Amino acid sequence: MTPRAIYLCGPTASGKSALAIKLAEQFDGEIVNADAFQLYRGLEILSAAPTPEDREKVPHHLYGVIPAVDSCDAQRYCELARPVIAEIISRGKTPIVTGGSGLYLKFLTHGPSPLPRGDAQLRSQLDAISLDELNAQLREVDPVEAARINPQNRRYVSRALEICLLTGAPSSQQRDNWRHVAESAVHSLRGLVLQMPRDILHQRIAARSAAIMANGAIREVARLDETCSHTIRKAIGIEQIRALRAGDCDEKTCLRKIIEATRQYAKRQETWFRRESWLTPAPALDHPACAEALGGLIQE
């Protein structure tokens, strides 16, 4: 039987990397990265990429393959990941695709979105408009999308309006059409999403954030050139550590801000993965129910 990929998703610090190694060892698999920032070279500490010791246990792919000056998006990630996954399968191995970048995984599993890429000139024009005006324009051209997104999230509102203006059609209609077509492909997918109580996840986030700072994240950020890409600047810790190095805050405050930003990111990830009904929920990797969920998944 031809192997099929196993997708291992979940919020940051939920234990995906450790479980991926266990899966790869158990099912003769190889790990394929689906974390937007672990793709980059020079961001290994801040992105909590697998250690050299972990990478020696089983083959790992697509870690540290993009230079910091390059931009990356979900479409480019798919172009990188698909041939890697196909090559692993061709050797009779099981790809273990793991990460928390929801849109990257969505493109990979459901196919690329028909929505247009961002237009720098139009975005510059939209950036100059107040949030109230952006919402007013979106309500006029796409009341459906305006009613279902968070009107306080400028990025979401601006992107929805951008899609409408670039295509001449409501972004809600285009998103719904893609969702309908994409859902027809989920019957062949198998994946786990790690879940754990919020307080435990917060403890893990705090511990990992402290370890990242102690293990050289400040030096790592200092080595990044100011010309690093817009994509890499979104990584949690870049802005906070640069503020620390500029003397705008102390190390304790810097760590607190990193923890807060990571918690907010984890909450967004949980919301995203709850919408992916094809994923099988599983508790932390050391919980007995995780093995039960995994067993059912492998038998599919």
The residues that bridge with 6 in the sheet, in sequence order, are: 96
Q: What is the mean pLDDT of each run of 10 residues along the chain (300 residues)?
A: 88 93 91 97 95 96 95 91 96 96 90 75 90 94 91 89 88 73 67 92 97 96 85 93 96 97 95 89 63 55
Predicted local confidence at residue 213, as pLDDT: 97
- The CA angle 55-59-64, to the nearest 5 degrees, is 60
The pLDDT score that the predictor gives to residue 284 is 63
CA angle 71/77/82 to nearest 5° reads 155
**CB of 46 within 8 A of CB of 217?**
yes
What are the structural domains, with CATH classification, of the chain? 6-111+185-298 (3.40.50.300), 120-182 (1.10.20.140)
| Helices and strands in the chain, H and E counts | 15, 6
- CB of 68 closer than 8 Å to CB of 224: yes
pLDDT attached to residue 227: 76
- Does the global pTM surpass 0.75? yes
Query: Which two structure tokens, joined as six digits, stand for 157?
Result: 């509102």
Which residues make Cβ contacts (< 8 Å) with residue 254, sequence separation at least 6? 213, 240, 241, 243, 244
pLDDT value for 153? 86
- How far apart CA 178 and CA 106 sit, in angstroms, is 11
